[in-house]
Structure 1
Amino acid sequence: MVSQTRGVLYPARLPEFHRLPPEAHARDLVVWFWIPEWDIEPGRSSRQDIVGYPALNLVVDQGVVTLSGATTRAAHRDLSGTGWAVGALLRPAAVAVLTDDPAALVDDETIIDAPDLVDAVGVAMRTGSGHRERAVTAFSDWLALRIGPIEGAVSQANALVDVLMGDGAADTVEEAATRLAVSVRTLQRLAHRYVGVSPAAMIRRRRLQEAAERLRLDPGLDLSALAAELGYADHAHLTRDFRSVLGIAPRTYRAGAGVESAEGASP
């Protein structure tokens, strides 16, 4: 599994946050479950900034189930009071059943009518020790029952995400198509149908997430060297990508993330 905080821009601000693997029978449906829990003193809030994965999320939050699409920019949420959420980062096999048009949900969300999922996850989260694991089991069971067995093009779409986002991911769309033994056009069609964004956009998002994580963890990292390592044309290309999605330059983000890390590490 990828690091617990990749995609989270300022981890020191996080409340209690966990990423947990799905149950075995839901591994073709979910990459991981993410569960924040918070208890923030009155009059204060905690801003969470995220550069999301190019995927859809199914989320149980405040008694509502939402299906959120892939994003084209950084997003944030201000947490206050006491609460929790349980989200599933979906694989294409699950997306295929939940929506016919994931592209229509890019930078948007829709409510899913699933009171049984709300009840099952809510009961699990309100129990004592092991509540997160029980919530994952309940969510995995619901998805497995709702989605059923997968095959054909859906299995191929799952493989597409692995090639573009997993360990040793392809650096170009052409490389990904070659690995999957399909044409570039077929690859693009699969991405549009099951993710909602292009394969090139998925590669760019992966690079940006890794760049942000590397800059946060190594404040002395040379930007030109990082750009070359991640496949950017040059330092300026990395900076443009940062600005277009995060709204700030890499140097500005690195300085702010360094302060956050220092504050988070203090007693």
Structure 2
Amino acid sequence: MVDPTRGVLYPARLPEFHRLPAPVEAAELVAWFWIPEWDIDPGRSSRQEIVAYPALNLVVDAETVTLSGASTRASHRDLRGNGWAVGALLRPAAVAALSDDPSSLVDGERVLVTASVAALRDAVVEAMATGDGHRERAVAVFSRWLAERVGQVDAPARQANALMDVLMGDDAALTPEEAATRLAVSVRTLQRMTHRHVGLSPAAMIRRRRLQEAAQRVRDEPGLDLASIAAELGYADHAHLTRDFRAVLGIAPRAYRTVAGD
């Protein structure tokens, strides 16, 4: 599992936050589970800013179950009072059971309202209220529900998971052409697969992963110059990295390094 703060722009501002691996029964369906818990003083708020992974998330809180689409921009959420959420970063094999058109959810979300989903929410709420080990119990009931919802994972779904690994995993491809070669498919087939399972193009997914990793390295490796980061992540040059930062995050890399390090 990647660094738990990747995608989070200002980790020092986080409330209690955990990333848990998927249990065996959900390993082909969920990259990891993420659980924030917060208790903010009355009259105050905590703004959490993220550059989300290019994937769908199924999120349970005390009141709703929400399916969130892949995002193309930075986003934020202002936390107030006390609360929690249990989110599953979905692997492509899980998507078809929850949405037949992921592209319609890009930069958006949909509240799911069915008897089955209500049962999931109630089970997670009960698990989160049970003291020590509550996060692990919540993940366990979430995983069982998702495994039952998806059913048997077939060969095309596993190929879609391999696609995500090639585009987003360790030693990820730097271009759609490289990804297609690794998967032994055409670039056009690759495009159809990402559209069907994520709703974004392969190039958009690569850009998001690069920006996530760039932000993490700019923040966490203050001694590393920006030109080296740009070169290692496949940017054409330092200026290209800066343009990406400004376009998505609204801030230049040097300024972000200063602010994030405070």
TM-score (norm. length: structure 1): 0.96
Q: What is aligned with 2:95?
A: 95
Q: Does 1:156 align with 2:163?
A: no
How far apart are the structure 2 equivalents of 1:149 and 1:247?
43
Matched-pair contact (CA < 8 Å) for 1:223–1:235:
yes
Q: What is aligned with 2:75?
A: 75
Q: Which structure 2 segments of 5+ residues have no match?
A: none
Q: Deviations over 1:4-23 (max 9, x none)?
A: 11000000000000000111
Of residues 230, 239, 250, the one that matches 1:247 is: 250
Structure 1 counterpart of 2:20, one-letter code: L
Q: Once superposed, what is the RMSD of the aligned Cα atoms?
A: 0.7
Q: Deviations over 1:156-209 (max 9, x none)?
A: 111100011011111111111111110000000000000010111111111101
Q: Deviations over 1:48-100 (max 9, x none)?
A: 00000000000002310000000010000000111000000000111111001
1:72-221 correspondence runs (5 A): 72-113=72-113, 114-221=117-224
Shift of 1:116: 0.6
Structure 2 counterpart of 1:94, one-letter code: A
Structure 2 counterpart of 1:41, one-letter code: D
Matched-pair contact (CA < 8 Å) for 2:17–2:34:
yes
Shift of 1:2: 0.4
Poorly superposed stretches of 4+, deviation over 2 Å: none
Q: Deviations over 1:196-253 (max 9, x none)?
A: 1011111111110111100111223211111011100001100111111111111111
How far apart are the structure 2 equivalents of 1:9 and 1:96?
30
Q: Which structure 1 segments of 5+ residues have no match?
A: 260-267
Q: What is aligned with 1:263?
A: none
How far apart are the structure 2 equivalents of 1:74 and 1:121?
28
1:6-45 correspondence runs (5 A): 6-45=6-45
Matched-pair contact (CA < 8 Å) for 2:17–2:35:
yes
How far apart are the structure 1 equivalents of 2:239 and 2:99?
38
SS at 1:193 equivalent: helix
How far apart are the structure 1 equivalents of 2:146 and 2:62?
19
How far apart are the structure 1 equivalents of 2:86 and 2:228?
38
Shift of 1:122: 0.4
Matched-pair contact (CA < 8 Å) for 1:96–1:154:
no
How far apart are the structure 2 equivalents of 1:226 and 1:118?
42
Matched-pair contact (CA < 8 Å) for 1:66–1:112:
yes
Shift of 1:152: 2.9
Q: What is aligned with 2:227?
A: 224
How far apart are the structure 1 equivalents of 2:215 and 2:130?
36
SS at 1:33 equivalent: strand
How far apart are the structure 2 equivalents of 1:110 and 1:39?
26
How far apart are the structure 2 equivalents of 1:193 and 1:158?
12
